[in-house]
Structure 1
Amino acid sequence: MIDFTVAICTYNGENRLPDVLEKLHSQIGTETFNWEIIIVDNNSKDNTAKVVEEYQYNSSKAYPIKYYMEPEQGLAFARRCAVKHANSPLIGFLDDDNLPNQNWVAAAYRFARKYPKVGAYGGQIHGKFEGEPPVGFERIARYFALIQGEESYCYNYKYKNTIYKMFPPGAGIVIRKEAWLASIPERPLLPQTSEDIEMLSQIWEGGWEIWFNPEMEMDHVIPKSRFDGDYLKRFFRDNGLCRYYIRMLKYKRWQMPLVIPGYMANDLRKLMCHWLKYRKVLKDDKVAAGEMELLLSTLLSPFSISRQKLIGK
């Protein structure tokens, strides 16, 4: 009987995987339950398989390390492969640039036992930067899967006069397998930049609770290339173009034409306010330029996904 699965989805991760596996080898507080590690190789072209094979051969730990190849490119398909092969009711997803703290597995397992209605939950994610973040990075940190907090809370619920509407990042997310099987369709509609929100929205719409667990802490390695101006523009463009579909997930078909004008008016207002505030520095301020791309793409997002696809979803 396996109680908890750690699933690592990787693509060309031969240089990153060893750090993640070493962190998992040093986990504490797991003596009272059984757990496993699943590595899903998302069609890597490097020596990822060889690295995993060496760890499988040399590992003397009580938990098994299993390897699976997923040829269809995309994190959603790698995760689906992990869900298919996981032997436990709980699956903690780590990317190959996520470095969990020593008690991450134990804290993740305890939380699900404490909250039986939780379908998904994430924890604290700290940035481990390989280069200096640009000025103003704190304004966009959440888009890089960075989040902190000292108390647990349920998303989309009011807590201390605050309504938490944002879902946790997909990095380090723990999914109850039952919630996944009941809520997630065969194929995602959105690209990888927004498929985490799509996944969690579907679980939440299925009636499951989504929580933040501060006891689950990890570092997210962020390479210097993520701070390149062109990368930030592409990244935020992709995020913005998906916004319409994400918003419409909570509405019925007949409600969509009624709410879209209000969203577009508000998006236009935000875009103009941002331009007025940062127009003199947009050429040199990477963060402000990225935010501008996000706002513009959000305004255009109703035209980026066909109505037929949205209704079919």
Structure 2
Amino acid sequence: MTFDLSVAIPTYNGADRLPKLLEKLRSQFDTDRFSWEILIIDNNSTDSTAALIQDIQKSWNFPYPLRYCFEAEQGLAFARNRGITEAQGELVAFLDDDNHPDPDWVAQAYQFAQNHPQAGAFGGQIHGEFAISPPANFKRIESFLAIRERGSEPHLYQPQHLSLPPGAALVVRRQVWLDNVPKRLHLVGRIQGSMLAGEDYEALLYIHRAGWEIWYNPAMHTYHQIPPHRLEKSYLVSLIRGSSLCLCYLRMLNAKHWQKPLIFLRMILGSSKRILQHWLKSRRYPQTDLVATCEWEFLQSSLLSPFYYLLNLFPKKAEPECDISSKSA
């Protein structure tokens, strides 16, 4: 059976978070005009996620099915790829287990895809719901927590400048992903103590390279649940480091060979200049300034990113292993 849309939820030890998200999805309205499903991708959880979903399925009495699959290979990239493989919808709308969508989120996702047939992927507004209040100047670094509030008008992202939506609350055309995104990405997500990220951007850059547009849809609202530990300095510094060390690889991904030395040099010079400017400004800040510390980490890791690339931590560009059994319209 095929559907118009699949809501795919990668989760790791999400037994405490999934019930609230499923409640939000059961409250969706204006979905009678299309068919859809909910798919849980259990990414090797060690808690009671599997038993929880089995119990919910026993009493599930809704026109949209609730399905479950297990992905043993740890990493968000593997979970999302498994979601694409297992989904039966022409559109795949990803939600992390800590993203709570508005009641019209699914309907807005479906309608935007109908109105923008050249959109291979799109994301909406992601608002932060903080368990404790963040610092007053936290807005300067909130994007590292996948918060996106880019205004009330739809517009194209700019992948050439690494302006892209996060993987959370992202909607993609399934066949576009299958045709263009490798089954194994270089960037696989935060696993085994590593915070190296960028897997969502890598997938989107392959989609962009194939000529598809990537959009911002302000009518889709989700709310990222942010517990206290995600505002701790150790967590944020590690998160920002992992999000920044991959920048050179991402910039090189769709670059022509002659452009790569220029990108390499520009990243070093640009990062060095910004580090100097930041030091001249932030040396007046108290040592306890969380945001200044995070900004400093971003600049240092951005400067190191070209050397990560040069040291063959990303030795070979992956080529898509595509499912070409059917093409998108």
- 1:204-241 Cα distance to aligned partner (Å, 9 max, x none): 11111000111111111011101111111111111121
Is 1:151 matched with 2:153? yes
Q: Which blocks of at least 5 consecutive residues in structure 1 are unaligned?
A: 158-162
Over the residues paired in the alignment, what is the CA RMSD in angstroms? 1.6
Once the two structures are TM-superposed, the CA of residue 200 in structure 1 deviates from its matched residue by 1.1
> Residue 184 of structure 2: which of 187, 198, 201 is its match?
187
Query: Corresponding residue for 2:325?
Result: none
Task: Say which SS state the counterpart of residue 95 (structure 1) adopts.
Answer: coil
Query: Corresponding residue for 1:279?
Result: 283
Once the two structures are TM-superposed, the CA of residue 253 in structure 1 deviates from its matched residue by 2.2
Once the two structures are TM-superposed, the CA of residue 282 in structure 1 deviates from its matched residue by 5.7
> Residue 206 of structure 1: which of 190, 197, 210 is its match?
210
Once the two structures are TM-superposed, the CA of residue 117 in structure 1 deviates from its matched residue by 1.0
Task: Say which SS state the counterpart of residue 265 (structure 1) adopts.
Answer: helix
Distance in 2 (CA, whole Å) between partners of 1:255 and 1:310 is: 18
Task: Say which SS state the counterpart of residue 95 (structure 2) adopts.
Answer: strand
Are the counterparts in 2 of residues 12 and 46 from structure 1 also a CA contact under 8 Å?
A: yes
> Residue 224 of structure 2: which of 220, 225, 249 is its match?
220
Query: Corresponding residue for 1:127?
Result: 128
Query: Corresponding residue for 1:173?
Result: 170
Q: Which amino acid aligns with 1:186?
A: K
Query: Corresponding residue for 1:41?
Result: 42
Once the two structures are TM-superposed, the CA of residue 249 in structure 1 deviates from its matched residue by 1.8
Instruction: Within 5 Å, give how 1:1-313 maps onto structure 2.
Output: 1-148=2-149, 149-156=151-158, 166-192=163-189, 193-281=197-285, 283-305=287-309, 306-307=311-312, 309-313=314-318
Distance in 2 (CA, whole Å) between partners of 1:240 and 1:113 is: 35
Once the two structures are TM-superposed, the CA of residue 254 in structure 1 deviates from its matched residue by 3.0
Are the counterparts in 2 of residues 23 and 101 from structure 1 also a CA contact under 8 Å?
A: yes
Task: Say which SS state the counterpart of residue 63 (structure 1) adopts.
Answer: coil
Once the two structures are TM-superposed, the CA of residue 27 in structure 1 deviates from its matched residue by 0.4
Distance in 2 (CA, whole Å) between partners of 1:115 and 1:223 is: 35
Once the two structures are TM-superposed, the CA of residue 311 in structure 1 deviates from its matched residue by 4.3
User: TM-score, normalised on structure 2?
Assistant: 0.90
Distance in 2 (CA, whole Å) between partners of 1:134 and 1:297 is: 23
- 1:85-109 Cα distance to aligned partner (Å, 9 max, x none): 1111100000000101100011101
Distance in 1 (CA, whole Å) between partners of 2:249 and 2:126 is: 26
Q: Which amino acid aligns with 1:278?
A: S
- 1:260-292 Cα distance to aligned partner (Å, 9 max, x none): 212211110011111111123262111110110
Are the counterparts in 2 of residues 7 and 40 from structure 1 also a CA contact under 8 Å?
A: yes
Once the two structures are TM-superposed, the CA of residue 180 in structure 1 deviates from its matched residue by 0.4
Distance in 2 (CA, whole Å) between partners of 1:8 and 1:111 is: 20
State, as a whole percentage, how many aligned pairs show the same letter: 44
Are the counterparts in 2 of residues 237 and 293 from structure 1 also a CA contact under 8 Å?
A: yes
- 1:109-165 Cα distance to aligned partner (Å, 9 max, x none): 1111111111000001111111121231100111111112211111129xxxxx985
Are the counterparts in 2 of residues 233 and 293 from structure 1 also a CA contact under 8 Å?
A: yes
Are the counterparts in 2 of residues 253 and 311 from structure 1 also a CA contact under 8 Å?
A: no
Task: Say which SS state the counterpart of residue 116 (structure 1) adopts.
Answer: coil
Are the counterparts in 1 of residues 120 and 214 from structure 2 also a CA contact under 8 Å?
A: yes
**CA 1:233–1:205 in structure 2 vs 1: closer, same or farther (change >3 Å)?**
same
Q: Which amino acid aligns with 1:253?
A: H
Distance in 2 (CA, whole Å) between partners of 1:17 and 1:112 is: 26
- 1:49-85 Cα distance to aligned partner (Å, 9 max, x none): 1111122111211110000000000111111111111
Q: Which blocks of at least 5 consecutive residues in structure 2 are unaligned?
A: 190-196, 319-329
Distance in 1 (CA, whole Å) between partners of 2:28 and 2:113 is: 18
Distance in 2 (CA, whole Å) between partners of 1:250 and 1:195 is: 15
Query: Corresponding residue for 1:160?
Result: none
Distance in 1 (CA, whole Å) between partners of 2:167 and 2:183 is: 18
Once the two structures are TM-superposed, the CA of residue 199 in structure 1 deviates from its matched residue by 1.3
Distance in 1 (CA, whole Å) between partners of 2:218 and 2:84 is: 24
Are the counterparts in 2 of residues 151 and 213 from structure 1 also a CA contact under 8 Å?
A: yes
Are the counterparts in 1 of residues 76 and 188 from structure 2 also a CA contact under 8 Å?
A: no
Once structures 1 and 2 are overlaid, which stretch shifts more, 208-217 or 242-251? 242-251
User: TM-score, normalised on structure 1?
Assistant: 0.94
Are the counterparts in 2 of residues 135 and 287 from structure 1 also a CA contact under 8 Å?
A: no
